Amino acid sequence: MLVRSGWRSDPETHALDNAIQKVTSRLLASHVDFDFGDEEIMSRHASVTRAGGAPMLRICRARYKAVLVPPMKTMRRSTLNLLKKFKAVGGVVTFAGEIAAALDGAPSEEVRKFAAACHHTPEVGPAMIPPLEIARRLSIAGPDGSEIGSALYLLREDKDAFYLFVCNTGEDFVNAGGHQMTQPMVRDRRLAFGDVRIRGFKGCAGIPLELNPENARILKADAARFGNGWEIRTSLPALGSRLFVVPKKAAAVEAAEQPVKLETVRSEILADESWRITLSECPSLVLDRPRFRIGNGQWHDATEILRVDRAVRDALGIPHRGGDMVQPWARRPPAIPKRTTVALAYLFECRALPSGDLFLAIEEPQTFRISLNGVSVPNTAECGWWVDRSLRKLPLYPATLRLGVNELVLECEYTEMHRGLEIVYLLGNFGTAVDGTAVSITALPTSLKIGDWCGQGLAFYSGTVAYRRMLDVRPTDGEKVFVAVPEYCGAAARVLVNGQEAGIIGWEPNEVEITGLLTGAPVELAIEVIGHRRNSHGPFHITEKWPAWTGPGEFVRQGDTWFEGYQLVPCGLMKPPAVEVRRMSRG
């Protein structure tokens, strides 16, 4: 294939890409099913036929009622002839945006002359949808009949039923524009819809069912006949989703009714000044800024460990690690590999001496000579791993630590086959704090206030924290009790009563019913915020707190995008939870 040099950066290329993206987004938001047509495949496999008396464009086993021609620069003659034939028998052909001014790459007015006899919307937008209504299989609309643009769906069909999955993206992606990496983050997608009407399923006689994957319940959908099909009424909270099955034949099905609507009769905000906590794993202290020495050279000031790794590779004259490298386990070792020695010295402060076991988590410990405050550490006494099997745990003698400044020294022989220098961690029963580039061991916190736990002694903590307190709530007959967690920062939250799980909170409405776990006496309520590895594994040294993308490049930023300190993200309960007592609505 011949292409012009520089075509990727040509403004016309970007404009055409953006136009195609707009067409795609508009079709998705309008809930019109479509496939992309490949002109080469169409030239070999497309034909015009009829099904049920209606004209169809057939490509192998696929059949289409309408064709939308997107903005184009050129069109194949085979495609133009096919479209003319389809339109001649009554098929719908509509153009959107720029009409091709070339045929088989040569200037020609033939496509424009044909388009003049078809529907054409000069701009890509909602006006291109009405001619395509003939191809609509499903409508997902609000009470005013307008399609809910932030909802996407997947519709499957077999001989027995239709299977519909609907999700709310929570954003107006049609009008947002821009590159996908500039789209709103999940937490900022807040569009919600309380009244959603899904119409379709022509010819289906079975009662629509709603499946709840969270609890495996099968419910009768809130549905009524609509013409020869069904209208299902539901709601889509922010980032919410629904799953329906619509049988083609009527049959008796065991399914529960939709839950009755409840109204809150009393509530209590759990605004405790502090919460007792327990941790799912021991905290970690990140050590990634050593002073370093290469060979017999001078000691260099402390810097980030991946920069140290690059400096060592520069000294050896070998390429930096990166996406183009051959992985170490697949690389053929050279006959005489380049090599040097590397010494790393990490400083950290100890504001309080921890109790209990103390460990060093490090990759390939057997390749290092290790000492803590001048005391040698055996590198073969492994006792398991932490987070990943590559991070081996070595026991450290807790008495080696001292109040004030401590130093961990690692020495290794670095060859061109070396897998690279990485972060090392101290693990133990201690708290952690960060001040600029300085890291410290502090006393292990036993309680937390509502808010970010990073500034409360758990700077690098990435496990789960359980917030605990006693709760005394006694519902009367017909009342149900819910625990609501309005805002948390973590992967998810889990609610337990007296150690028994009530449920997981991962999406709105961010609440869990606990009625069945209440005993008529005070119980212990635990709300676990399930952490993630961002604050233990990074990227740390990046100006954006929440980058749109995290890949290898985010760990080796340069220039204005480099952050010298530690970019930690908030974790924990961010607003007080609440307990709500509800009963059947009188409305």
pLDDT tens string, the chain, 587 residues long: the values are 456 777 778 888 888 888 999 999 999 999 999 999 999 999 999 999 998 889 999 999 999 999 999 999 999 999 999 999 999 999 999 999 999 999 999 999 999 999 999 999 998 889 999 999 999 999 999 999 999 999 999 999 999 999 999 999 999 888 876 666 777 888 888 999 999 999 999 999 999 999 999 888 999 999 999 999 999 999 999 999 999 999 999 988 888 888 888 899 999 999 888 999 999 999 999 999 999 999 999 999 999 999 999 999 999 999 998 877 777 778 788 888 899 999 999 999 999 999 999 999 999 999 999 999 999 999 998 899 999 999 999 999 999 999 999 999 999 999 988 889 999 999 999 999 999 999 999 999 999 999 999 999 999 999 999 999 999 999 999 999 999 999 999 999 999 999 999 999 998 889 999 999 998 899 999 999 999 999 999 999 999 999 988 988 899 999 999 999 999 999 999 999 999 999 987 65
**Which of 309, 282, 284, 286 minimizes the C-alpha distance to 424?**
286
Other CB atoms within 10 A of residue 573 CB: 25
Torsion angles phi and psi, residue 492, rounded to 5: -170, 175
User: Could you tell me what percentage of the chain is helix, strand and coil, using 3-state DSSP and rounding each to the nearest 5?
Assistant: 20, 40, 45
Task: Judge whether 449 and 273 are in contact, CB under 8 Å.
Answer: yes
Buried b / exposed e along 277-309 (16+ C-beta atoms within 10 A): bebeebbbbbbbbbbbbbeeeeeeebbbbbbbb
Rounded to the nearest 5 degrees, what angle is found at the Cα of 237, between the Cα atoms of 234 and 242?
50
SS3 333: coil
Q: Quick one: DSSP state of residue 259?
A: P
Q: Which of 362, 345, 349 has the alpha carbon at shortest distance from 301?
A: 345
Q: Residue 2's pLDDT is what?
A: 54
Q: Coil, helix or strand for 114?
A: helix
Dihedral in degrees, nearest 10, Cα atoms 351, 357, 362, 364 = 150
Q: What is the DSSP string of 417-452?
A: T------EEEEEE-EEEEETTEEEEEPPPSEE-SS-
Residues 13, 524: Cα–Cα separation, whole Å: 62
According to the model, what pLDDT value does residue 5 have? 75
d(CA 480, CA 331): 62
SS3 label, residue 175: helix
pLDDT at 587: 55
Pull the structure tokens for residue 234.
């539901």
| Amino acid at the residue 292 | F
The residues, ordered by sequence, that sit 6+ positions from 234 with a Cβ below 8 Å of its Cβ are: 196, 198, 210, 221, 222, 242
The whole-number pLDDT of residue 584 equals 86
| 105 CB-near residues (< 8 Å, 6+ apart) | 74
Query: Mapping DSSP to helix (H, G, I), strand (E, B) and coil, where does residue 414 land?
Result: strand
The β-bridge relationship of strands 424-429 and 223-226 is unpaired
CA atoms within 13 A on the CB side of 175: 7
Residue with the two structure tokens 């939308």:
68
User: Phi/psi class of residue 465: alpha, beta or left (left: φ > 0; alpha: ψ in -120 to 50)?
Assistant: beta
Rounded to the nearest angstrom, the gap between the alpha carbon of residue 355 and the centroid of all alpha carbons in its chain is: 38
Domains in the chain, ordered, with CATH? Answer: 7-134 (no CATH), 138-259 (2.60.40), 275-279+446-532+571-584 (2.60.120.260), 284-323+335-442 (2.60.120.260)
- Decide: 31 and 39 in contact? Cβ < 8 Å: no
Residue 3 confidence (pLDDT) = 63
